[in-house]
């Protein structure tokens, strides 16, 4: 019997294009504070560190400094709005469903390792009818130390019954690559996500430009680590 292999996916910018709805929630929050809105292109470079950091970056762009209580209040405005509009325009990247189906047929046990809150991650995946592909969905609020800390990777692997020796991480930013490196597992980066630097400079083990290429890249790394 072939031993299983384990794949951890980042969510935003890797499996789903959530920037339009994150932009909507951020700008609703900015508008509630009478602050200038942020264009979607800028938001794409702010995603990956959680909702609170997204708001802080929006405030920085507006040149405004709020105290912790004010930021917390803004975060609640953001989350309330985002929950109500979480998949208005969020969609899986082209080819995502087919890629997940193929990897599952090949024996991959898959999980989500994301800096998005866990309940919101579950909500996105359930509404997009993708949740059933994943044995566990581990958000930043489930672990003490989130990505790029290795703890987040290890906790996600434990949740799907995996080990670092037979695991691969797939993401789109330096946060994902660094988390994988810190945990000692190989990593594939997608080039169509929300990286603030050229994906070629992320130093991932492999780069893919489309989901159609991801299966082959995974199989190659799988064969390398399971020999």
Q: At what angle do helices 96-105 and 211-226 cross, to 10 degrees?
A: 30
Catalytic residue among 10, 12, 172, 176: 10
Question: Among all chains, which residue has been given the structure tokens 């708001």?
Answer: 55
DSSP string of 115-155, one letter each residue? SS-HHHHHHHHHHTT-GGGEEEEE-GGGSSS-TTSHHHHHH
**Dihedral, CA atoms, 175, 215, 91, 144, nearest 10 degrees?**
-30
- Two structure tokens written together for 5: 């292999």
Are 72 and 55 spatial neighbours (Cβ–Cβ below 8 Å)?
no
How far, rounded to the nearest angstrom, does the alpha carbon of residue 20 sit from its chain's CA centroid?
A: 15
- Two structure tokens written together for 40: 């979607």
Closest CA to 11 of 127, 109, 139, 104: 139
Strands (E), the chain: 5-9, 16-17, 91-92, 108-113, 134-138, 167-171, 187-190, 206-208
Is 205 a residue of the active site?
A: no
Angle at CA of residue 114, ends 108 and 117, nearest 5° = 130
Q: Which residues are catalytic?
A: 10
């Amino acid at each position: 019997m072939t031993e299983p292999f384990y794949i951890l996916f980042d969510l935003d910018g890797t499996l789903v294009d959530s920037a339009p709805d994150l932009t909507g929630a951020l700008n609703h929050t900015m508008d509630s504070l009478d602050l200038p809105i942020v264009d979607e292109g800028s938001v794409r470079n702010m995603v990956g560190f959680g909702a609170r950091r997204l708001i802080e970056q929006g405030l920085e762009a507006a040149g405004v400094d709020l105290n912790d209580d004010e930021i917390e209040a803004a975060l609640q405005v953001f989350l309330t709005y985002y929950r109500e509009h979480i998949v208005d325009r969020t969609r899986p990247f082209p080819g995502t469903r087919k890629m997940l189906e193929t990897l599952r047929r090949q024996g991959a046990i898959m999980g989500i390792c994301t800096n998005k809150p866990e309940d919101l991650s579950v909500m996105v995946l359930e509404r997009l009818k993708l949740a059933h592909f994943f044995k566990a969905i581990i958000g930043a609020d489930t672990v003490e130390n989130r990505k790029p800390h290795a703890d987040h990777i290890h906790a996600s692997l434990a949740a799907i019954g995996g080990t670092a020796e037979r695991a691969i991480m797939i993401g789109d930013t330096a946060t994902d690559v660094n988390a994988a490196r810190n945990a000692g597992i190989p990593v594939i980066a997608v080039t169509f996500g929300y990286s603030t630097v050229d994906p070629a400079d992320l130093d991932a083990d492999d780069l893919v430009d489309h989901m159609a290429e991801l299966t082959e890249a995974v199989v190659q790394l799988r064969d390398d680590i399971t020999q």
